Amino acid sequence: MKKIKNYFYLIAGILSVLFAFTHAMNGQLTLLSEIDQTSLESGTKTIIRYVWHIITAENLIFGVALIFMAFYREREKVRIVAWLIAVVLLTRWFVILIFTLMRDSASLQGVIADTIAILLLVVLLLLGARVKDRVGKTV
């Protein structure tokens, strides 16, 4: 069995997979089931549904990648991936925040959970990126 090389990536990966499932379930139980009851056009409902699940898929892909990265021997080689995931997550958060402020600043409380989740993952990624390879030791 391979030894864990970066616990920060492992924790972030597990959380990302968990966030993927909770995002999908939350969508099914709240927004997406309500959308089905509206008079919106079928095409609009489809767009809302796939945009919602794009984030689910991203979270799942990030999680799986981070779990693999946690076991990767040469941490320096996967550091750029952690940075890219962090940038994507921060960009996602920025888009959520800006559109919430533009459309309905009164519902800013609704982005608190997203903000906490995204910032937690970014902090874990940045901490994981700081972990150095042990020079001169066989891993």
CA distance 15 to 104: 29
First-to-last CA distance in the chain?
A: 13
Torsion (CA) 15, 55, 124, 105 in degrees, nearest 10: -110
CA distance 85 to 62: 7
Task: Dump pLDDT digits (tens) for 8-60.
Answer: 999 999 999 999 999 999 999 988 889 989 999 999 999 999 999 999 999 99
Task: Dump pLDDT digits (tens) for 111-139.
Answer: 898 899 999 999 999 999 998 766 545 44
pTM for the full predicted model: 0.87
